Amino acid sequence: MKPGVMQAKYNIKPGSVIGDIENATARAGYMIIVGQNQEALEENIRSAYEELEILDGEGNNLIMNFFAERKSYHEENY
């Protein structure tokens, strides 16, 4: 497991059809990520998302990594 990832699990199996997400129980999986401080936490999240994949039938990654485009806590506050 990646540094800072305490727990992660896919709630789907290969070949599953993923429908619309209407509530938290419809999620394809989850990750619990920690860090020693805000900067370390953000780096651990970015690192984990780099490895995360849910592929469609054509090999496109369906993960929407909004965190990658977000400014870091440090950039926003200093």
Q: ∠ at Cα 33 (29, 72), nearest 5°?
A: 110
pLDDT in tens, 13-58: 888 888 777 887 778 889 999 999 998 999 999 899 888 888 888 9
Contacts of 39 (CB under 8 A, 6+ apart): 72, 73, 74
**Model pLDDT, residue 74:** 58
**Model pLDDT, residue 72:** 64
